Amino acid sequence: MLRAIDLNKLFHSVLPKKQKIMNKIALVILVIGCAIFAGFAPGEEEQFPTIELGAAMPMMDLEMRNIDNNMMSLSDIKQKNGTLVIFSCNTCPFVIQWEDRYDDVTAIAGRYGFGTALINSNEAKRSGDDSFENMVSHAKKVMYKSPYLVDENSVIANAFGAKTTPHVFLFDSDDLLVYAGAIDDNSKDAGAVSESYLINALNQIGIGRSIKVNQTPAKGCSIKRVK
Give percent above pLDDT 90 in the chain. 77
CA–CA dist 56, 78 (Å, integer): 13
More confident residue, 31 or 207: 207
Residue 10 is predicted with a pLDDT of 40
φ/ψ bin of 143: left (φ > 0), alpha (ψ from -120 to 50), beta (otherwise): left
CA–CA dist 60, 192 (Å, integer): 35
Question: Which segments within the chain are labelled E, that is strand?
Answer: 64-66, 71-72, 82-88, 114-120, 148-150, 164-165, 167-171, 177-181, 221-222
Residue 193 is predicted with a pLDDT of 95
Q: Where are the domains of the chain?
A: 1-38, 50-222
User: Which of 3.40.50.10420, 3.40.50.2300, 3.40.30.10, 3.30.70.2970 would CATH assign to domain 50-222?
Assistant: 3.40.30.10
pLDDT tens-digit readout, 44-90: 556 889 999 999 999 999 999 999 999 999 999 999 999 999 999 99
Task: Decide if pLDDT at 101 tops 80.
Answer: yes
Least confident of 1-5, 26-30, 38-42, 92-96: 26-30
Give the rounded distance of the alpha carbon of 216 from its chain centre.
Answer: 12
**Closest by Cα among 175, 130, 163 to 149:** 130
pLDDT tens-digit readout, 142-198: 999 999 999 999 999 999 999 999 999 999 999 999 999 999 999 999 999 999 999
Give percent above pLDDT 70 in the chain. 80
Residue 47 is predicted with a pLDDT of 82
Residue 227 is predicted with a pLDDT of 83
Q: What is the mean pLDDT of residues 96-116?
A: 96
- The average confidence (pLDDT) of the chain is 86
Give the rounded distance of the alpha carbon of 70 from its chain centre.
Answer: 24
Relative to beta strand 164-165, strand 221-222 is antiparallel
At residue 42 the predicted structure's pLDDT band, cuts being 50, 70 and 90, is low
Question: Which segments within 50-161 are labelled E, that is strand?
Answer: 64-66, 71-72, 82-88, 114-120, 148-150
Residue 123 in contact with residue 225, Cβ under 8 Å? yes
Q: What one-character-per-residue DSSP string does 148-161 give?
A: EEE-GGGHHHHHHT
Residue 145 is predicted with a pLDDT of 93
At residue 26 the predicted structure's pLDDT band, cuts being 50, 70 and 90, is very low
